[in-house]
Amino acid sequence: MDFLTQKLLYLAAAIPCPADNPSVDGFETGLPSTCADSNALRSILQIVFGVIAVTTVIFIIISAIRYSTSIGNPQATEKIRNSIVFAAIGLAIAMSAEIIVTFVLGRV
């Protein structure tokens, strides 16, 4: 299980549930219960994607400042330009992921 999945499960498990004793068909399971519905999951994922988007925008701003200060060096300019392009692609992926998650969870 990757780091992000573990953190999402941790956040989902932190949502309190009024049922103190979870049971399946009348048998005590001993497992923790959660009341994580689609709205809670949507909120958690929006926070995660928001943090990714803010981080990407900060990275683009820093790369733009580095680009403006390294005009004389063509190798550094090319490297920084690639960093800006990759950060923009990452931002587009994060935004589209949030749109897809919101759309899918809206259908559930």
Structure pTM? 0.62
Range among 31-35, 36-40, 83-87, 98-102 with highest mean pLDDT value:
83-87
Count of domains observed in the chain: 1
Q: What share of the chain is helix, strand, coil (3-state, %, to 5)?
A: 70, 5, 25
Domain that holds residue 28: 3-107
**Is the Cβ–Cβ distance between 22 and 29 less than 8 Å?**
yes
pLDDT digits (tens, 9 = 90+) for 55-86: 999 999 999 899 888 877 888 889 999 999 99
